[in-house]
Chain A
Amino acid sequence: MKSIVILTLALCLIALAGPAAAAQFFDFDAQAIIPATVGSTAEMYGIIVNGSAVPTPLPLDFSNYQYTIVVTGLILDSAGVTSEFSNGTVVIYEDAATAADWTDTASFSDGVPILSGTLASFQHTMLTVSLGNGQGMVDWTGGSRLNDLAPADQSGWPFLTAISRSASQVEPGYSEKWDGKVEPTEEVVATERQSWSGVKALFR
């Protein structure tokens, strides 16, 4: 019982640690391939472009690495002005070797997967002939940086994107440009390493 109380207090302390940032997200510039028939799968290949402009939920080293985001296996369940997709896989890669190139989708999925997860459902809506948006939720389940996120912070990240079918925005071989982000529901704050005895000592 005493351990549970201490653990609870420790978790509260961790949750309160560190200053809160104004906004955090993985901002991406992407191209998507959308299937024509129900049952087929969509894919998206993007570059994470936060750079120095906007904080990412996890610290990333944009000076030495390129970060890419890839969605695959997103099954088209119903098609229309609003289309429903399901069962996609999302992976964020860190790569210092090969620059992402729209003409080579493999160049987006090399490097180290730092976060991987599922895009269980995704709604794609065209609001004009050429413009729309997409909304889904990502649950992170793997990757080399997964454990940098507290378990409670690993699920339910909104995946939000603008969609353009304008010829000036879509790269050859793709159907749509996606300009969007994956973001936590609330800010991910810094934590501090502390020995168990050190945490207990705080409550003596």
Chain B
Amino acid sequence: MTLRKNVSSALATAVLVWLAFGANASRAAMVDYVGFGWETGGITTSLPGDELAIAAVVTQIDALFGIDLNAVEGTLYIEGLTSLGAVFNPSTEVTSISYTGGTLSLYADPSWDHDWGTNPASGTVPGTFVNGDLLFEGTFTDFSLLLQASGGGVFEGYLHATGGSALAGPCSDCAYTFAGAFATPSGAQIPEGYDLQVDGVLEIESAVATENINWGSLKNLYR
């Protein structure tokens, strides 16, 4: 019994070391994006059931994706984030909004046609942000937005990766995004009909160079 425990413990340790080493070997791939978001009914009065969407363009993308932003435009679209309602904290004067559901997709598009326009959803949004080759898509497991009265804020979300040509395979809790979120009082330029200007990062742990392996095969590596 003791021996078996020790073997299990050693195996667990080896797996952790392997996972840590593996994570370093296939470093997180970064995507930098800027764009605008809007919520049905408005962001400051976010009510349960309202939906948040964000249309963005990519300004930097990790070489791991093999994308040349001089040859194609990168676009990113977040949709289907369903508000659980705004909660205002009077002591900090910060409004927090949690969301359920939602997806994020990332495209490489040779047509260079992104157009935020005004009053989304519109003739150009989401259409010009969801065309081209799908590089990555994922579903949110958690997403929250914090907004100050000054108009400054931030959001972050965690995702399961579900597909896209840059992904070796689906993976759980392997992507993360955060962004500054700026409403009108901050002075940010915001096209008519949008609620927020956003500027953030998408981080994908296993965009490339990962390998799916079953538990039995993994154990075999240490026999």
Q: A residues within 8 Å of B by Cβ?
A: 22-25, 27, 29, 49-54, 63, 81, 123, 125, 127-128, 131-135, 137, 156, 158, 160-164, 166, 168-169, 179-181, 183-187
B186 engages A50 (CB within 8 Å) = no
* Minimum CB distance partner of A51 in chain B: B69
Q: Which of B34, B117, B151 has the most CB of A within 10 A?
A: B34
Ranked nearest first, the 9 interchain pairs of A and B with the lowest CB-CB distance are: A162-B180, A158-B187, A133-B152, A49-B59, A127-B146, A53-B57, A53-B59, A131-B154, A133-B180
A49 touches which one: B36, B60, B94 (CB < 8 A)?
B60
B199 touches which one: A127, A161, A185 (CB < 8 A)?
A161
A127 engages B94 (CB within 8 Å) = yes
- A128, B199: Cα distance in complex, Å: 17
Chain B residues with Cβ below 8 Å from A23 are 36, 116, 189, 191
Contact residue range for chain B? Answer: 35 or more
A22 engages B150 (CB within 8 Å) = no
* Minimum CB distance partner of A47 in chain B: B60
Question: B102 at interface (Cβ–Cβ under 8 A)?
Answer: no
Can you show 11 pairs from A to B with CB atoms below 8 A apart? A22-B191, A25-B34, A29-B59, A52-B73, A53-B34, A53-B58, A127-B148, A131-B154, A162-B154, A162-B199, A162-B200
Given A161-B180, A162-B154, A179-B200; A29-B32 close (CB under 8 Å): yes
- A5, B200: Cα distance in complex, Å: 47
Question: B201 at interface (Cβ–Cβ under 8 A)?
Answer: yes
* Minimum CB distance partner of B71 in chain A: A52
Nearest-Cβ distance from residue A124 to partner chain B, whole angstroms: 10
- A127, B155: Cα distance in complex, Å: 10
Nearest-Cβ distance from residue A188 to partner chain B, whole angstroms: 11
Nearest-Cβ distance from residue A39 to partner chain B, whole angstroms: 24
Given A162-B199, A169-B201; A179-B146 close (CB under 8 Å): no
A162 touches which one: B117, B178, B186, B187 (CB < 8 A)?
B178
Given contacts A53-B58, A133-B181, 18 further A-B contacts (CB under 8 A): A22-B116, A22-B117, A27-B59, A51-B60, A53-B59, A53-B73, A54-B59, A127-B94, A132-B154, A133-B154, A160-B180, A160-B197, A161-B199, A168-B28, A179-B179, A179-B200, A186-B189, A187-B189
A164 touches which one: B112, B151, B152, B178 (CB < 8 A)?
B178
A24 engages B180 (CB within 8 Å) = no
Q: Which of B73, B74, B188 has the most CB of A within 10 A?
A: B188
Chain B residues with Cβ below 8 Å from A184 are 189
Question: B158 at interface (Cβ–Cβ under 8 A)?
Answer: no
* Minimum CB distance partner of B114 in chain A: A53
Question: B142 at interface (Cβ–Cβ under 8 A)?
Answer: no
* Minimum CB distance partner of A164 in chain B: B178
Chain A residues with Cβ below 8 Å from B150 are 123, 135
* Minimum CB distance partner of B34 in chain A: A27
